[in-house]
Structure 1
Amino acid sequence: MLFLVISTPRPDKPTSLTNDRMKYWDWMNPLLASGVAKSAYPRVGRGVAVTFNVDSNETLHRLMNEWADIIPAHFEVYPLLDAGVAKQFLASQAAS
Structure 2
Amino acid sequence: MLFLAISTPAPTEPSAVRDRRQRYWQWVAPLREDGTVRSIHARVGRGAVALFDVDSLERLHALLNQWADIVPATFEILPLIDADAIQSFLAAEPT
Establish whether TM, by shorter chain, passes 0.5. yes
**Counterparts of 2:88 and 2:47, CA distance in 1:** 33
Size of the aligned set, in residue pairs, is: 94
Give the structure 2 partner of residue 60 of structure 1.
Answer: 60
Which blocks of at least 5 consecutive residues in structure 1 are unaligned?
A: none
Long gaps (5+) in structure 2: none
What is the root-mean-square deviation of aligned Cα atoms in Å?
A: 0.8
Tell me how far 1:90 sits from its aligned partner: 1.4
Mapped partners of 1:85, 1:55: distance in 2: 16
Kindly state the Cα deviation for residue 68 of structure 1 after the two structures are TM-superposed.
Answer: 0.4
Structure having the higher helix fraction is: 1
Partner Cα distance (2:90, 2:11) in 1: 41
- The 4+ residue runs of structure 1 with deviation greater than 6 A are none
If the length of structure 2 is used for normalisation, what is the TM-score? 0.96
Q: Which residue of 2 aligns with 1:4?
A: 4
